[in-house]
């Protein structure tokens, strides 16, 4: 029986789905995490604050009983996975490439060296430097921390005062330098793909029907298949393949965010993981194969099988946290589940937890899933269901206080 190590953060969304995928493939799943997990699987405690230390802990564990594949379920695990898999002779991304996906400045530099279309950018070590960078790039611009994900700390700034405020937040949340980018307008899409020995296999393209114009950038609505013309989607797939090559990625999942401009697609982000949260539940391939199963098959070197999507259309509505405070309860869930086309509602933050909205925290209240005959029907179902869900939050602290 193949033995798979799954690296997941203590508050990750994906543990159960990856464990289920491993079992469906008749694999033993071992969970490596920095905290307890509510799944029935062998556990290994690792220090995700230090990728080198986490990799060493994985290598020590493999000495007692080897692994056949190492898979990161979230951003925090991609560098430890690459480091450990390289040492153990398993399929992996080059560690330097994995590190670049966790460093927005390094990623931008590699994409620029590869001639990729992307937002013009500057690095800034402090607020004054951020203002100068924005003046050089032109307003509006986007100010973002260098290493955070899920749009945490990311703000659009339309003038110098807004740049200064956004830079202060970015530097509060993350180490310098921060990144200042020219804001790029246009529709946004997400591309899911798998790399095998450097060759990109596109799996799905999601439209994001809600405008993402700032000042914060919450990911909300994802619907697939895309309604953009085939030529646009082919250009997006080609851009993702070229971007992955420019960064140096060679194995495993790729999740990319792009803006569609009149001149062609521009790369906003590229991660060496699958789509975040529980959004992968929208995808099924062949005879009901999950995205997690495809990722594990690729990591183990098994045939991928039929990669055609098995649903006519599907989508997810991510429910942003609406205010800072303590979550008391969430109402309207059963009504949302009863909406035609809705196939699931998951609330992922339990009552009693302190919550904060973007830009300080990228965690979501929950997820609504829908399937239908076409993308428009799916979008309608998701909007109707999301409108029924309400969070009761007792405001007990401000955004400037610890949560």
Residue 400 pLDDT exceeds 50: no
Q: Residue 396 has what pLDDT?
A: 62
pLDDT digits (tens, 9 = 90+) for 160-197: 999 999 999 999 999 999 999 999 999 999 999 999 99
- Cα separation, 63 vs 41, whole angstroms: 19
Mean pLDDT, the chain, rounded, equals 94
Domains within the chain, CATH numbers bracketed: 3-101 (3.40.50.20), 120-182 (3.30.1490.20), 185-271 (3.30.470.20), 311-403 (3.90.1170.50)
Q: Residue 140 has what pLDDT?
A: 97
pLDDT digits (tens, 9 = 90+) for 2-39: 999 999 998 778 889 999 999 999 999 999 998 876 66
- CB distance 146 to 103 below 8 Å: yes
What is the model's pTM?
A: 0.93
Query: Could you tell me what percent of the chain has a pLDDT over 90?
Result: 88
Query: Model confidence at 402, in pLDDT bands (50, 70, 90)?
Result: very low
Mean pLDDT of 58-86: 96
Mean pLDDT of 232-243: 98
Mean pLDDT of 212-216: 94
pLDDT digits (tens, 9 = 90+) for 47-67: 999 999 999 999 999 999 999
Q: Residue 401 has what pLDDT?
A: 42
pLDDT digits (tens, 9 = 90+) for 348-360: 999 999 999 999 9
pLDDT digits (tens, 9 = 90+) for 370-379: 999 999 999 9
Query: Model confidence at 286, in pLDDT bands (50, 70, 90)?
Result: confident
Mean pLDDT of 296-318: 90
- CB distance 157 to 169 below 8 Å: no
């Amino acid at each position: 029986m193949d033995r798979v190590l799954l690296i997941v953060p203590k508050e990750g969304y994906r543990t159960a789905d990856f464990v289920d995928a491993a079992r469906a493939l008749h694999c033993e799943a071992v969970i490596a995490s920095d905290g307890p997990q509510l799944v029935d699987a062998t556990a290994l405690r690792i220090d995700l604050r230090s990728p080198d230390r986490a990799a060493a802990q994985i290598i020590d564990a493999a000495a007692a009983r080897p692994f056949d594949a190492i898979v990161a379920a979230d951003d925090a695990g991609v560098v430890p996975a690459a480091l450990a898999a390289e040492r153990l002779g398993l399929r992996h991304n080059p560690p330097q490439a994995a590190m670049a996906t966790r460093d927005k400045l390094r990623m931008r530099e590699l994409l620029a060296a590869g001639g990729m279309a992307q937002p013009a950018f500057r690095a800034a070590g402090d607020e004054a430097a951020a203002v100068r960078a924005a003046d050089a790039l032109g307003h509006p611009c986007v100010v973002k921390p260098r290493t955070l994900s899920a749009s945490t700390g990311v703000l659009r700034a339309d003038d110098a005062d807004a740049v200064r405020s956004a830079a202060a937040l970015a530097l509060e949340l993350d180490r310098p330098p921060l990144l200042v980018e020219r804001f790029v307008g246009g529709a946004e899409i997400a591309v899911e793909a798998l790399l095998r020995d450097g060759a990109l296999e596109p799996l799905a393209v999601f439209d994001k029907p809600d405008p993402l114009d700032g000042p914060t950038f919450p990911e909300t609505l994802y619907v697939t298949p895309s309604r953009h013309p085939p030529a646009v989607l082919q250009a997006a797939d080609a851009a993702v393949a070229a971007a992955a090559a420019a960064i140096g990625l060679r194995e495993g999942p790729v999740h990319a965010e792009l803006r569609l401009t009149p001149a062609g697609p521009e790369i906003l982000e590229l991660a060496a993981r699958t789509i975040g949260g529980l959004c992968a539940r929208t995808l099924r391939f062949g005879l009901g194969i999950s995205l997690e199963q495809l990722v594990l098959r690729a990591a183990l070197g098994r045939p991928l099988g039929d990669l055609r999507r098995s649903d006519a259309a599907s989508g997810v509505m991510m429910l942003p946290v609406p205010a800072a405070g303590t979550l008391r309860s969430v109402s309207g869930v059963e009504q949302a589940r009863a909406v035609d086309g809705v196939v699931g509602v998951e609330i992922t933050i339990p009552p009693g937890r302190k919550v904060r909205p973007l830009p300080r925290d990228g965690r979501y209240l929950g997820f609504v899933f829908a399937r239908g005959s076409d993308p428009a029907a799916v979008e309608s179902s998701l909007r109707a269901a999301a409108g029924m869900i309400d969070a009761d939050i007792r405001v007990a602290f401000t955004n400037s206080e610890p949560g």
